[in-house]
Amino acid sequence: MTPTLEKPEEMQPLLDWFAQTADNPRAQLEAALARGEKAVGCLPYFAPEELIHAMGMRPFGLWGTGGLSCSLSAGYFPPFYCSLARTSLELALRGSLRGLCAVTGTLLCDTLRPLSQNWAAALPGLPFLPLACPQQRQEVYALTYFRSQLEGLARRLEELGGRPLDPQALQNSLEVYNASRAARRRFVALAGWRGGLIPPLTRCQVLKAALFAPVEEYLPRLTRLNRQLEALPDQPPKLPLTVSGILCDSPALLRAFEGAGFTIAADDLAQESRSFRVDAPQDEDPLLALAMRFCAQSADPLLYDPDPALRPRHLVRLVRESGSRGLVLVLQQFCDVEEMEWPALKAELDRQGIPSLVIGADQEMTDFGQASTLLEAFAERLG
Ligand code: SF4
């Protein structure tokens, strides 16, 4: 029998820091405000954090919040609306985002477009700075267009008290964010091959902390954690799994994965790997490099790809390369983007002999008993 890996003593304080940061975003925001920083809320997806950082402001991740019952935002959205949008607006209406000077977001789905309008109506004191992204990303005009969008966003940030855009500062920010993305990719690979030493909830906290912490504090800690994990021998976990979906950050749901015996060996989550898969290239025009970073994204259900087989192939490769025994899609309720693509993905997974499971979830959900039962049954099927 393979011996269980021992967690090095010095690893726990690091993991505690990631957990506290991920679980207390408000404390991070308060700390930024106390230092006199201006903070900008970053709604999904592909927020240009580097640009905000380069202008001396703090990018602050805004992906709704779990277990929040929406009452104030119910005046703006019907109950059958994506909970990521509803809980984000609810947080703002309840004052939990007090101190942000603006919120920015891309308009990549039929939920985010009305959100930008409703936000403006509900919260005139907290400007919504929309960022329109091109879907035809393969053409040169897409780069020109998106660069102009980013430039427009920079002008708005400047009006809100950000520093004037300095190309050298942006170049520096691109480098530090590229390093942070590389460290997160490394962590994802290491966490999957350390015999289940990093349970699903811990893995999520390590990655989620990047949404709220200053990159200068996050990156050195993650680098240290990666070194500690690298010093341990490779050991595949008992039930490695690939998780897909928009996000999977509910502690109760992540404990259900752990309870069923799963280790997350790879993910295709928008909040996690999809957000740090692509780096900005080197270019003498750093704003263009930032536009290139977005235009190089692919195999994402929110983005158009000329080759419809690209995404199914990507998921199959993720499962195979991570040694996963199957794939679980955590499907956000009322997310038509993910609902519509699932039949094609499932057909390909079936054709490749990869077992899969769909779990419905949303940000208002508190009881994951049914998900827990489904995961246990899935584990038995794979075991
Ligand atoms: S979860 Fe789906 S519907 Fe909601 S914002 Fe994201 S892509 Fe749009």
Interatomic CA distance for residues 362 and 67, integer angstroms: 9
Q: From 225, 222, 314, select the one nearest 268 (Cα to Cα).
A: 314
Cα distance between residue 85 and residue 190, in whole Å = 32
Decide if 69 is inside a domain: yes
Distance 106 CA to ligand 1 centre (A): 11
Which residues are CB-contacts of 73 (< 8 A; sequence separation ≥ 6)? Answer: 86, 87, 89, 90, 93, 122
- Spatial CB neighbours of 28, under 8 Å, sequence gap ≥ 6: 21, 60, 212, 213
The answer to whether the CB of 62 is under 6 A from ligand 1 is: no
- Please name the residues in contact with 309: beta carbons below 8 A apart, sequence gap of 6 or more: 348
* pLDDT computed for residue 3 by the predictor: 61
Q: How far is the CA of 14 from the centre of ligand 1 (A)?
A: 32
pLDDT tens for 159-205 read 999 999 999 999 999 999 999 999 999 999 999 988 789 999 999 99
Q: What is the pTM of this model?
A: 0.97
Assess whether the C-beta atom of 331 lies below 6 angstroms from ligand 1: no
Decide whether any atom of ligand 1 lies within 6 Å of the 109 Cβ: yes
Q: Is residue 36 part of a domain?
A: yes
Ligand 1 close to Cβ of residue 111 (< 6 A): yes
DSSP state of 7: P
Alpha helices of the chain — where are they, by DSSP H? 11-23, 25-34, 49-54, 83-93, 112-122, 140-159, 167-192, 200-208, 215-230, 251-259, 273-276, 286-295, 310-322, 336-351, 369-382
- Taking only the tens place, the pLDDT of each residue in 127-155 is 999 999 999 998 999 999 999 999 999 99
Euclidean distance between the first and the last CA atom of the chain, given in angstroms as a whole number: 16
The whole domain housing 64 covers 17-166
Point out the ligand 1 atom lying closest to the alpha carbon of residue 45: 6
C-alpha of residue 368 to centroid of ligand 1, in Å: 20
Has residue 380 been placed in a domain? no
**CB 112 less than 6 A from any atom of ligand 1:** yes
Question: Ligand 1 centre and the CA of 73: distance in Å?
Answer: 16
Q: What is residue 173's DSSP assignment?
A: H
Residue nearest (by alpha carbon) to ligand 1 atom 2: 335
What sign for the dihedral angle of Cα 190, 170, 297, 329?
positive
Average pLDDT by consecutive 10-residue portion of the chain (383 residues)?
75 97 97 97 97 98 91 93 94 96 96 94 96 93 97 97 96 98 97 90 98 98 97 91 97 96 97 98 97 97 94 97 97 95 96 98 90 97 91
153, part of any domain: yes
Q: Is residue 361 part of a domain?
A: no
Q: How many domains does the chain have?
A: 1
Pocket of ligand 1, candidates 88, 332, 334, 362: which has the most ligand atoms within 8 Å of its Cβ, to mutate?
332
Q: Which atom of ligand 1 is nearest to the CA of 112?
A: 5
In the reported structure, the alpha carbon of residue 335 is separated from the centroid of ligand 1 by a whole-number distance in angstroms of 5
Taking a C-beta distance cutoff of 8 angstroms, is the pair 371, 249 a contact?
Answer: no
pLDDT at 53: 98
What's the confidence (pLDDT) of residue 69?
87
**Residue 50 located in a structural domain:** yes
Q: Does 112 reside within a domain? A: yes
Residue 189 lies in a domain: no
Residue 169 half-sphere exposure toward CB, CA atoms < 13 A: 14
CATH code for position 116: 3.40.50.11890
Closest CA to 365 of 62, 64, 39, 115: 64
The β-bridge partners of 132 are none
Atom of ligand 1 nearest to the CA of 115: 5
Please name the residue whose Cα sits nearest to atom 3 of ligand 1. Answer: 335
57-61: strand order across its sheet: 57-61, 38-42, 100-106, 128-131
